Amino acid sequence: MLTEQAELSSQGPISPVSSRDGRDIQNLIKASLEDKLETGRKQRTQEEHNNALVATLNEFMKCFTIIGFDLSSDPLIISKANNPLDGEALASLTSKYMKDMVR
Q: What is the pLDDT of residue 80?
A: 93
CA atoms within 13 A on the CB side of 28: 6
Is the predicted pLDDT of residue 94 greater than 60, yes or no?
yes
What are the domain boundaries of the chain?
Answer: 21-102
Q: What is the pLDDT of residue 31?
A: 82
Q: Express each pLDDT in 52-93 by its tens digit.
A: 899 999 999 999 999 999 888 989 999 999 999 999 999 999
Instruction: Give CA–CA dist 41/1, Å, rounded.
Output: 39
Instruction: Give CA–CA dist 68/73, Å, rounded.
Output: 9
Instruction: Give CA–CA dist 28/1, Å, rounded.
Output: 30
Q: What is the pLDDT of residue 1?
A: 47
- pLDDT: which is higher, 35 or 87: 87
